[in-house]
Amino acid sequence: MTKKPEKTGIGASRVLRTKIKKKSGLKESSRRWLERHMNDPYVQRSKAEGYRSRAAYKLIEIDDKYKLLKPGMRVIDLGAAPGGWCQVAAARVKSDVEAPSVVGIDYLEMDAIPGTTILELDFLDDDAPDRLIEALGGKPDMVLSDMAAPTTGHRRTDHLRTMYLCEVAADFAMSVLQPGGHFLTKTFQGGTEGGLLDVLKKNFRTVHHVKPPASRDESVELYLLARDFRGRAISGAQDDS
């Protein structure tokens, strides 16, 4: 593995570009993925700035554009591991370390995050929604979901499995959000989210597809942002975005 200085598109600092030798023992596809990951400017920036993942910048970029997270808000983060989104949310809502207003949930183990209550639990468990609300101490102002199903390598299957998580997250959000609250979830391009969009448009004032710069161009990943929850009792309303 060799390194040479190279400028990146993020910031003006010079970084070391890592080259992994073809005789490293890795499969070629794995070698290319690892090399791309290690040289990703967002990965390098996350390490320098103390974020747990490059995904933190996706939420930062979306929030910078739409001004969603405000001091005093209560936030639930679904599929929170390794914790990048919790870090961003806790900082932006100024969550109290002693009485956190951010709750993250994941079946994967996570280290503690200041200003965040972490539940090591599968969101799909029957008691997960009640435990989230109990931990938060009330209804949230925003529900975040960066959940994605483990990939199988079959694009259609992966899309359907992640869309299921997206739909479950949306159903949860609409059952717990405060009026005026927001919902942000990962989805994949693939054409099966029409039904979900219809439901969101009936229950939120605006619904957008968002692809932040930190989401790789070649990725089929998108985010659905539903803003200003009307209240689930309202049906048949049309999106006015």
Mean per-residue pLDDT pooled into runs of 10, the chain (241 residues):
39 46 55 54 78 93 98 97 97 97 96 97 93 96 91 77 91 96 89 81 95 87 95 50 39
Q: What is the pTM of this model?
A: 0.81
pLDDT reported for residue 204: 97
Report residue 121 as tokens: 């639990």
Please pick, among 186, 201, 202, 211, the residue that the annotation labels catalytic: 186
Same domain, 103 and 172: yes
Report residue 233 as tokens: 């009792």
Domain of 193?
56-229
Neighbouring CB atoms inside 10 A of 164's CB total 14
pLDDT reported for residue 207: 95
Same domain, 23 and 95: no
Residue 186 catalytic?
A: yes
> Which residues make up each annotated binding site for S-adenosyl-L-methionine?
83, 85, 106, 122, 146
List b or e across 24-52, with b for residues whose CB sees 16 or more CB atoms inside 10 angstroms: eeeeeeebeeebeebbbbbbbbbeeeebb
Same domain, 29 and 93: no
> Which residues make up each annotated binding site?
83, 85, 106, 122, 146
> What whole-number distance in Å separates Cα of residue 184 and Cα of residue 207?
10
pLDDT reported for residue 38: 57
The verdict on residue 46 lying in a domain is no
Same domain, 156 and 76: yes
